[in-house]
């Protein structure tokens, strides 16, 4: 049995670093592909948004002496590199995929069209959504929230390297406590870090739940789809 029919999985670009200092670790790609295949085989429709921080982050533009908007477009291109790598890895394990981009690069991907994206999902294809929103000053978290709403996903799954939302950074504060469930209002009131404010507000206004979980633990994604209490659930109530 599956708890969700259609999900938006948000992955960070930094996660693809694995044990490498830069670029893409093939071991991470293989691991993620195997995890996604398990839920696809369950009949879950999966859309994926992946960041580009392992290659370039738009917010770093100032450090190399270029304007932020230009840097953000460079970051969008970085997400497409990661998206293409993930697409190749998924297809290697037998999953049908489509890569859709907010920027037009017709030689390697389709343009993002909402109805086309939904149709791909209905046909059982994993849809990878690259290039963020196609606009500067918006993060890939914002792109994930926006696309999830557009495709009418049941939930946003934010795969991270920690197992949920904590009162503080668990990698820095050993006394940090984890939440099993938290409301949108509590996140605001307690100043918890889940997504950037634009992305988070989009989910709240559209009553779209968020689950933050550890993507690096094998089987977690599948257990989530079966309804197990993995990670931290953010809801309206």
Domains of the chain, CATH where assigned = 6-235 (3.40.1160.10)
Is 112's pLDDT higher than 90? yes
With residue 9 as reference, give the H or E element that holds it.
strand 6-11
The per-residue pLDDT for 186 is: 94
Is 50's pLDDT higher than 90? yes
Lowest mean pLDDT among 75-79, 105-109, 193-197, 200-204: 193-197
The per-residue pLDDT for 172 is: 87
What is the tens place of the pLDDT at every residue in 117-162?
Answer: 999 999 999 999 999 999 999 999 999 999 999 999 999 999 998 8
pTM value is: 0.95
The per-residue pLDDT for 57 is: 86
The per-residue pLDDT for 8 is: 98
Closest CA to 164 of 215, 198, 223: 215
The per-residue pLDDT for 129 is: 98
The SS3 of residue 6 is strand
- Spatial neighbors of 149 by CB under 8 A, at least 6 apart, are 202, 203, 206, 208
In the block, residue with structure tokens 């890569």:
99
The per-residue pLDDT for 52 is: 95
In the block, residue with structure tokens 């390697």:
108
Structure tokens at 131: 């290039």
């Amino acid at each position: 049995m599956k708890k969700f029919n259609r999900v938006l999985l948000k992955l960070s670009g930094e996660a693809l670093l694995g044990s490498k200092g830069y670029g893409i670790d093939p071991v991470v790609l293989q691991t993620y592909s195997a995890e996604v295949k398990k839920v696809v085989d369950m009949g879950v429709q999966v859309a994926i948004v992946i960041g580009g921080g392992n290659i370039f982050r738009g917010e770093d533009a100032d450090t190399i002496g270029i304007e932020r908007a230009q840097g953000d477009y460079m970051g969008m291109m970085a997400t497409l590199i990661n998206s293409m790598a993930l697409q190749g890895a998924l297809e290697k394990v037998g999953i049908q995929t489509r890569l859709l981009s907010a920027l037009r690069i017709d030689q390697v991907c389709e343009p993002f069209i909402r109805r086309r994206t939904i149709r791909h999902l209905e046909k059982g294809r994993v849809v990878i959504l690259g290039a963020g929103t196609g606009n500067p000053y918006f993060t890939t978290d914002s792109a994930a929230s926006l696309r999830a709403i557009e495709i009418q996903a049941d939930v946003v799954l934010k795969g991270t390297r920690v197992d949920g939302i904590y009162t503080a950074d668990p990698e820095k504060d050993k006394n940090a406590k984890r939440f099993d469930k938290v409301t949108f209002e509590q996140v605001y009131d307690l100043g918890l870090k889940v997504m950037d404010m634009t992305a988070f507000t989009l989910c709240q206004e559209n009553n779209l739940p968020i689950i933050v979980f550890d993507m690096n633990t094998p089987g977690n994604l599948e257990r989530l789809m079966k309804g197990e209490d993995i990670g931290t659930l953010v809801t309206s109530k």
